[in-house]
Structure 1
């Protein structure tokens, strides 16, 4: 990759916090059949901890999945948590959030958490201070390292047991509601790698286009 002002961070720079092989070993002990999913959890943890590794990050920063393309100009307000509401609702994500941050102190809050929309839209605005607040809360609640707590809180019988987007999004909604701003972008998920011409065409109707590798592999297999 050769993009002006871009920097590349090696996975090994995160080794003091997390290593993929250790996640794989843990999943292997719990459920060897889904051990291959360790990399998916690993990349989520890298996003959640990137502010500790990349010194040049501003206090507010945007994390974007590698298979996401912005096809229109999108403005981000650094003072607000601008989020999308998504239909990618998945109960295991809610349960892992509940285990990580603590049980709801009322049945009403539990119901509200479980009924809340998903925050998954393949990008998110993060704040360093709030991310550290969330990590500190989890470590204090579990009395152990953040990554250890996370790995103790996911269901290894589930192929997709955790979402970094839902973790941070739900934390913001419950603890920093005044900073939350619902700003619905239009996005499309496709099963092919688009040409520049196709991206230009899609920009007439969408802000974001997502070309997930798992979706492309499925389309190729079919």
Structure 2
């Protein structure tokens, strides 16, 4: 078909500044809502999601502090995440007007009351385990990308390259995270002089199951119970799911990952700048 991409973006003021590639991507993603059934394949790019062997699902655990922003977050995912299939939102509230798949957070083997001993951070720890247990969602693909519900992807971004999982890094360092990690299993140590805490991470079912089995056998209990047991109750930030999986992969499957550097920042308000993505945390958010 002949596609006048310049005319297309003129019809949508929000698309001002889009390139031809992004206009095609937007058409492919959202055309179905306007009754279109055709598909444009832009051969010079990786925007061929349905053909990709690196297809993955997106998972966004949603807490009460981010509900009013989730539609904007989802729109950024649709515009800029390359090679995803479905978007799953894990939440207690399924009345949010998006076209995503909602998963009840109470459908997992743990409940919020299981976290009562962990001072005022029980929702934070719940969110961590929801990310790690997202592989149990019925029908989810073997690979799934977790994105924090306060994180906006601003540029087209891939998460796999030649069967390698792409990990970003940060300079964060918090000793209790590694104390907790080593309690989970003695082999889980900080492998590199950088952090895997970047507000998103791509997971693989087989590898996350391997991690669970490693920890479960060591503690003789389910992974989530070991995770909570190893948290120091007096520590307000005593565990980090991204740090655990990041270092597990570096230690046990370094051949399956690739470190890359995305330009990102934690901001107080929305700003595109030259970032690949940004995060705006509820406790510092300027509305």
Scaled to the shorter chain, the TM-score interval is 0.7 to 0.9
* Larger Rg over CA atoms: 2
Corresponding position of 2:115: 23
Deviation at 1:67, TM superposition (A): 0.3
Is the 2:191–2:251 Cα contact (8 Å) retained in structure 1? Answer: no
Are 2:161 and 1:84 aligned? no
Corresponding position of 2:130: 46
Moved over 4 A (4+): none
Structure scoring higher RCO (CA < 8 A, sep ≥ 6) equals: 1
With structure 2 as the length reference, what TM-score do the two structures score? 0.63
In structure 1, distance between residues paired with 2:192 and 2:252:
17
Deviation at 1:60, TM superposition (A): 1.1
Higher relative helix content: 1
Q: Which moved more, 1:82-91 or 1:126-135?
A: 82-91
Match of 1:11 among 101, 105, 109: 105
State the superposition RMSD in angstroms: 1.8
Corresponding position of 1:176: 253
With structure 1 as the length reference, what TM-score do the two structures score? 0.81
Q: Secondary structure at the match of 2:133?
A: helix
Deviation at 1:114, TM superposition (A): 6.9
In structure 2, distance between residues paired with 1:117 and 1:129:
25
Higher relative strand content: 2
Is the 1:94–1:114 Cα contact (8 Å) retained in structure 2? Answer: no
Runs of at least 5 residues in structure 2 that lack an aligned partner in the other structure: 1-95
Match of 1:2 among 97, 109, 130: 97
Corresponding position of 2:151: 68
Corresponding position of 2:142: 59
Are 2:178 and 1:126 aligned? no
